[in-house]
């Protein structure tokens, strides 16, 4: 298919697609693995759906992340919130990632294990008082927020503000409610500015203090980069792990044989988490890449300025890579899924996300062994949007019915 036939016959980016994108992906993988699309705002681009093409695209440095190289600063494309490694190319990327990595160390993450278990237990203790819970609002959403806020050193009284600002940042990336979002962003940068100043004078052992102090060969993060990095960590901490826990539990509840297997073999939790990430990944599409020049990719002519989107959940259901890809099998061996991306932008928070997922899902299953979905899965409302895959609510009953 060539560019002029883009989106031909396939209703991408609709509610139906959000509900179940897999049939569309199957068709695209077979016929158009690099598929011409037009985004709702008219932007021309490509969607990549096979595992092989996804691996190549995620590593292809002709597809760039820093869109200011193409568009300059027009339409606020490059704001302080994108001044971080996710929106940078080499050599800036290496420098930014290296500085953040110095603060976000495996030791710091491993040191959070006990605290994550405590927060989990507190949330479940509260939920246990009622016969029903909404897995998202009552558990999957608050857990990663509390964790990232504690790591960063956000006072608990300010956590709700962070939730509002994080939502605005995400909505802003969808181009919605410009005025309100602008206001929230000003509040957010104001808050961060005074917080950075206080921390500089009086550093502690939290992540912000480490980020401010991180240094490589005399080089440090600038104030704008600190805004960019902190907002990225906050968004990543708010919007992704919630859906690992939510989608993961949903998949297990819809596959009682796998739920029971994990219950009787809790030692399978690590391979279960990998399979849940593959089966219904929390990040539907990679963040955008842009063709930095005209070139050919898998037989398609990409033009400078085209947007390139990698459908990670499609790659993770590619039968050429995964045997019986639509089967949920928590004992699946060797599962090189792309839920965390690959290449230089591979998720920096993957060890933290995996640890949170393991603790959350094992604890839920231990505490509420008779948990059941109390909604018809066809009624579940999948969140619209371009990047994250998750449902708004997952009502469950916690105890056996008498």
Task: Catalog residues that contact ligand HEM under the rule CB under 6 A.
Answer: 58, 85-86, 97, 148, 232-233, 236-237, 240-241, 244, 282-283, 286-287, 339-341, 345, 347-349, 352-353
Nearer to ligand HEM, 119 or 236 (CB): 236
Contact 142, 123 (CB under 8 A): yes
Q: How far is the CB of 286 from ligand HEM (least distance, A)?
A: 4
The dihedral sign for the CA sequence 305, 306, 307, 311? negative
Q: How far is the CB of 236 from ligand HEM (least distance, A)?
A: 3
Nearer to ligand HEM, 258 or 288 (CB): 288
Nearer to ligand HEM, 143 or 283 (CB): 283
Instruction: Please give the Cα distance from 179 to 175 (Å, whole number).
Output: 11
Nearer to ligand HEM, 238 or 398 (CB): 238
Q: How far is the CB of 342 from ligand HEM (least distance, A)?
A: 8
Instruction: Please give the Cα distance from 64 to 294 (Å, whole number).
Output: 12
CA angle centred on 253, ends 248 and 257, rounded to 5° = 105
Q: How far is the CB of 59 from ligand HEM (least distance, A)?
A: 10
**Pick from 82, 206, 90: which is nearest to 154 by CA?**
206
Instruction: Please give the Cα distance from 366 to 351 (Å, whole number).
Output: 22
Q: Where are the alpha helices (DSSP H) in 240-371?
A: 241-254, 256-264, 269-279, 312-315, 350-367
Q: How far is the CB of 393 from ligand HEM (least distance, A)?
A: 19
Q: How far is the CB of 81 from ligand HEM (least distance, A)?
A: 13
Contact 152, 104 (CB under 8 A): no
Nearer to ligand HEM, 357 or 398 (CB): 357
Nearer to ligand HEM, 253 or 353 (CB): 353
Residue with CB nearest ligand HEM? 349
DSSP 243: H
Nearer to ligand HEM, 1 or 347 (CB): 347
Q: How far is the CB of 75 from ligand HEM (least distance, A)?
A: 21
Nearer to ligand HEM, 229 or 398 (CB): 229
Q: How far is the CB of 370 from ligand HEM (least distance, A)?
A: 27
**67-76 burial code (b ≥16 CB/10 A, e <16):** beeeeeeeee
Instruction: Please give the Cα distance from 98 to 215 (Å, whole number).
Output: 9
Residue 195, both tokens: 């917080």
DSSP string, 41-78: T--EEEEE-SHHHHHHHHH-TTEES-THHHHTTGGG-S
Instruction: Please give the Cα distance from 296 to 56 (Å, whole number).
Output: 13
**Pick from 274, 287, 191: which is nearest to 236 by CA?**
287
Q: Residue 12's Cα: distance from chain center in Å? A: 20
Q: How far is the CB of 381 from ligand HEM (least distance, A)?
A: 21
Nearer to ligand HEM, 82 or 258 (CB): 82
């Amino acid at each position: 298919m060539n560019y002029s036939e883009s989106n031909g016959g396939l209703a991408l980016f609709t509610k139906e697609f959000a509900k179940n994108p897999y049939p569309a992906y199957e068709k695209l993988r077979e016929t158009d693995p690099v598929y011409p699309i037009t985004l709702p705002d008219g932007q021309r681009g490509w969607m990549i759906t096979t595992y092989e093409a996804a691996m190549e695209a995620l590593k292809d440095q002709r597809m760039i992340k820093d869109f200011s190289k193409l568009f300059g600063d027009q339409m606020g494309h490059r704001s302080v919130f994108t001044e971080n490694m996710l929106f940078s190319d080499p050599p800036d990327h290496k420098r930014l990632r290296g500085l953040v990595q110095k603060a976000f160390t495996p030791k710091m993450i491993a040191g959070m294990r006990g605290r994550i278990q405590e927060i989990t237990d507190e949330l479940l203790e509260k939920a246990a008082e009622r016969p029903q819970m909404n897995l998202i609002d009552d558990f999957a959403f608050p857990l990663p927020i509390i964790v990232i806020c504690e790591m960063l050193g956000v006072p608990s009284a300010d956590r709700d503000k962070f939730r509002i600002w994080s939502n605005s940042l995400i909505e802003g990336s969808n181009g919605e409610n410009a005025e309100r979002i602008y206001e929230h962003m000003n509040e957010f940068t104001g808050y961060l500015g005074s917080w950075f100043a206080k921390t500089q004078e009086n550093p502690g052992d939290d992540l912000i203090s480490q980020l401010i102090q991180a240094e490589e060969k005399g080089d440090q993060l600038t104030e704008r980069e600190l805004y960019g990095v902190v907002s990225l960590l906050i968004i990543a901490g708010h919007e992704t792990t919630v859906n690992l826990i939510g989608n993961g539990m949903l998949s297990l509840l819809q596959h009682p044989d796998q739920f029971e297997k994990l219950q009787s073999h809790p030692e399978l939790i690590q391979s279960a988490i990998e399979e849940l990430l593959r089966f219904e990944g929390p990040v539907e599409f990679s963040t955008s890449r842009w063709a930095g020049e005209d070139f050919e990719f898998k037989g398609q002519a990409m033009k400078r300025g085209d947007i390139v989107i990698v459908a990670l959940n499609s790659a993770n259901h590619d039968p050429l890579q995964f045997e019986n890809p639509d089967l949920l099998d928590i004992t699946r061996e060797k599962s090189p899924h792309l839920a965390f991306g690959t290449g230089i932008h591979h998720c920096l928070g993957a060890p933290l996300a995996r640890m949170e997922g393991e603790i959350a899902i094992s604890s839920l299953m231990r505490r509420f062994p008779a948990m059941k979905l109390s909604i018809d899965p066809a009624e579940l409302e999948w969140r619209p949007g371009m990047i994250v895959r998750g449902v708004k609510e997952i009502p469950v009953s916690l105890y056996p019915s008498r």
